[in-house]
Structure 1
Amino acid sequence: MNPRTVHLAVYDTYADWETGHTTAHLTQNGFTVRTVGPTTEPVTTMGGVRIQPDLALGDLRPEDSALLILTGAQLWDTTDDLAPFAATARTFLDAGVPVAAICGATAGLAREGLLDDREHTSAVSFYLDATGYKGGEHYRDTDAVTDGDLITAGPTEPVAFAREVFARLGVYEGEKLDAWYRLFHDSDASAFEVLES
């Protein structure tokens, strides 16, 4: 396993805003973020930004990664085009490599059966119920959830999502993790001093 490389899935209609905190602070703390697309052809985010993926999904191996991040996208709910990303998430989890999914990516994981036996969250419970998954009893109505190697969050919680990733990868811990969250989620200026100490 490469403990310092994180893979960010990118695809058309990718929700730009959901991983900015996560990837920026991972990079500032010594991680390399590599983008993974369906192919290496450019994709266009929901915000109209073109991204040239670093590698194609077919070339991604869990042993080369510390984490796979899956973001929301309109395509999760309108086509099966992103199903291979959910299947790759299964391969990662089976290999003991963490996966972090936010927004519509949680529905993709639900369709893949990855939420049937794990605690998780999403936008709302009935959003996942519509996938026909069997994990409703494990749904938690909270900002973000970590269950072992799986992190999930709803679309309005990019800061809580980042907090869970940082905790799982040991980027920030204890008082510093709490301070980071208070600064970026609550605009608590007193947290800045803790982060800088």
Structure 2
Amino acid sequence: MTTVYVYLMNTMADWEIGYCLAELHSKRFFRKDAGEISVKTVSISKEPVKSMGGLTIISDMTIEDMQVNNDNVLILPGSDRWSESENFPILEIAKRFLEAGGLVAAICGASVALANMGILDDKKHTSNGAGFLNMFCPEYKGTDNYIDKPAVRDGNLITAAATGALEMTRLILEYLDVFGADTLEHWYAYFSTGNANAFFAMMQSLQK
């Protein structure tokens, strides 16, 4: 079984992980033979956190209970508090995930946090526009590996811009291999365009 850990923190950008959480939790479009997925929220404590959208959330577990291995996944949402020391432990865990072969997906402000640790220096990655990481990360040396796209995957690392939530979700679903290829293509087409034909094609793909 694969456990997908979603880190919770104050001021987290709740919409940036919305697509991913909805699909991984509901499993509504999973292929019939998809592997078992468990979604768990984690935080530094069991104290409630308040998202940027005003949601008050209590995590399922603390970071001490996480299992770091090559089967599991860690998702880091954007926030304006990544520079606060209380969030540094999850960044060390993210580094351990990458070393163990587990997937790490970081969006918006979380990509800045990884850049500050030097994790993005030698991996293809993206963030909130060319020059953004140079502005906020004095030690950043990954300019040559920056790709100006909404979301980028390099091995077991996914990074995304603040506007790349849908694209990040697509890459995570592709990595986990829980959607059929046709279903994923039509899912992305529907949610990125609103074209009803893509929705009907997606539903038909589930019958194959």
TM-score (normalizing by structure 2):
0.88
Equivalent in the alignment of 1:158: 165
Q: Secondary structure at 1:167's aligned position in 2?
A: helix
Q: Deviations over 1:114-151 (max 9, x none)?
A: 10110000111322112121111100000110100001
Out of 131, 144, 149, the residue aligned to residue 156 of structure 2 is 149
Pair 1:75–1:134, CA change in 2 (3 A): same
Q: CA deviation at 1:162?
A: 0.6
Equivalent in the alignment of 2:44: 38
**Mapping for residues 1-197 of structure 1, pairs under 5 Å:** 2-3=1-2, 5-29=3-27, 31-63=37-69, 66-77=72-83, 79-129=84-134, 130-131=136-137, 132-197=139-204
Q: Distance in 2 between matches of 1:38 and 1:148?
A: 27
**Farther-moved stretch of structure 1 (137-146 vs 25-34):** 25-34
Q: Which runs of 4+ in 1 moved over 3 A?
A: none
Contact 1:7 / 1:65 at 8 angstroms: preserved in 2? no
Q: CA deviation at 1:158?
A: 1.1
Q: Distance in 1 between matches of 2:185 and 2:52?
A: 31
Amino acid at match of 2:198: A
Q: Distance in 2 between matches of 1:96 and 1:141?
A: 25
Q: Deviations over 1:44-83 (max 9, x none)?
A: 1111111111111122121396210000011024x33322
Contact 1:122 / 1:152 at 8 angstroms: preserved in 2? yes
Q: Distance in 2 between matches of 1:173 and 1:159?
A: 17
Identity between Structure 1 and Structure 2 (%): 38
TM-score (normalizing by structure 1):
0.93
**Farther-moved stretch of structure 1 (141-150 vs 49-58):** 49-58
Q: Distance in 1 between matches of 2:91 and 2:107?
A: 12
Contact 1:12 / 1:75 at 8 angstroms: preserved in 2? yes
Pair 1:102–1:24, CA change in 2 (3 A): same
Q: Distance in 2 between matches of 1:113 and 1:40?
A: 30
Q: Deviations over 1:151-192 (max 9, x none)?
A: 111011211111011111112243221111111111121111
Contact 2:70 / 2:100 at 8 angstroms: preserved in 1? no
**Farther-moved stretch of structure 1 (48-57 vs 23-32):** 23-32
Q: Distance in 2 between matches of 1:125 and 1:173?
A: 33
Gaps of 5+ in 2: 28-35
Gaps of 5+ in 1: none
Aligned residues: 194
Amino acid at match of 2:24: L
> Which protein is bigger by CA-based radius of gyration?
2
